[in-house]
Amino acid sequence: MQDLIERAAQAIRTARKTIALTGAGISAESGIPTFRDPGGLWDRYDPEEYATIEAFRRDPGKVWRMMKDFTELKTALPNPGHFGLAHLEQLGLLHCIITQNVDNLHQAAGSRDVIEFHGNMRQVVCMSCRKVLPLDEISLKTLPSYCSCGGVFKPAGVFFGEPIPPYALYRSQEEAQSCDLILVIGTSAVVYPAADIPRVAKEAGAQVIEINPEHTDLTDWLADLIIQEKAGIAIPQIIAAIKAIAS
């Protein structure tokens, strides 16, 4: 493992432009359940019933009540994986993070350039007039909550069947095509178009480093270096190795 950590450190040190794609796994050590691991969110809630835009339109109150249960999202704190990526950015060794997460933990850890590919759950959007408000500014006493225009508020995270926010999609493509190293951290890489980002980067000539304790759809055919370890352990070790090389 130490050899892999050192190779990753060397790759990051020498890359011209490194980006990261993160998924639920990087927040697992903050106590937020992933989606597809055993006991994950989609074991407890059927995504067809709670995570599609059709389901929301059918019964917004039911989806909101499920969302309200996510107290973890409010109380969770960044872990050493999030802090490590923020530190890499400060060192000038990480250009940006493309995250599928909606938990705000990269920003809470101090990362500045975070592309929220699946939107975020700290905001709501009116389904009629498209007004966007911070979640804190609407009442959740009766659900769903309504906008002054009469439209229903929806969490601003992307539901299945909804488009990716155009800016996030456009910028992610740009960054994937122009990087020479991509770190793929804590994602099963099965939800598209996010899962396509490492392939776009690889086809443009980038190296792919995967950090994930489990085997994923990318492990065999795309990753150049595979670190089968938790993000909160591997990322600080990589940073220590970068510092050791530099000293």
User: Which residues in this chain contact ligand OAD in the complex, by CB under 6 A?
Assistant: 23-26, 28-29, 34-37, 40, 51, 100, 118, 158, 160, 186-188, 191, 211-214, 216, 230-232
Question: Which CB, 22 or 178, lies closer to ligand OAD?
Answer: 22
Nearest approach in angstroms of CB 187 to ligand OAD is 3
Nearest approach in angstroms of CB 162 to ligand OAD is 8
Nearest approach in angstroms of CB 63 to ligand OAD is 12
Instruction: Record the tokens describing residue 99, joined without a space.
Output: 């995250």
Question: Which CB, 18 or 187, lies closer to ligand OAD?
Answer: 187
**Number of helical (H) and strand (E) elements in the chain, helices listed first:** 12, 9
Q: Which of 82, 106, 118, 215 is catalytic?
A: 118
Distance CA 16, CA 179 (A): 7
Q: Treating both helix axes as pointing N-terminal to C-terminal, what angle do 231-246 and 2-14 enclose, rounded to 10 degrees?
A: 60
Nearest approach in angstroms of CB 147 to ligand OAD is 23
Question: Which CB, 146 or 165, lies closer to ligand OAD?
Answer: 165
CB-CB contact of 115 with 96 (8 Å): yes
- Cα three-residue angle 113-137-83, rounded to 5 degrees: 30
Distance CA 140, CA 67 (A): 11
- Cα three-residue angle 85-87-91, rounded to 5 degrees: 115
Question: Which CB, 226 or 242, lies closer to ligand OAD?
Answer: 226
Q: List the one residue out of 211, 205, 207, 241 whose CA is nearest residue 226.
A: 211
Question: How many other C-beta atoms are found inside a 10 Å radius of the C-beta of residue 220?
Answer: 9
Distance CA 118, CA 11 (A): 28
Question: Which CB, 18 or 188, lies closer to ligand OAD?
Answer: 188
Nearest approach in angstroms of CB 232 to ligand OAD is 6
Distance CA 206, CA 199 (A): 9
Instruction: Record the tokens describing residue 72, joined without a space.
Output: 């973890």
Q: Which residue has the closest beta carbon to ligand OAD?
A: 25
- Catalytic annotation present for 118: yes
Catalytic residues: 118
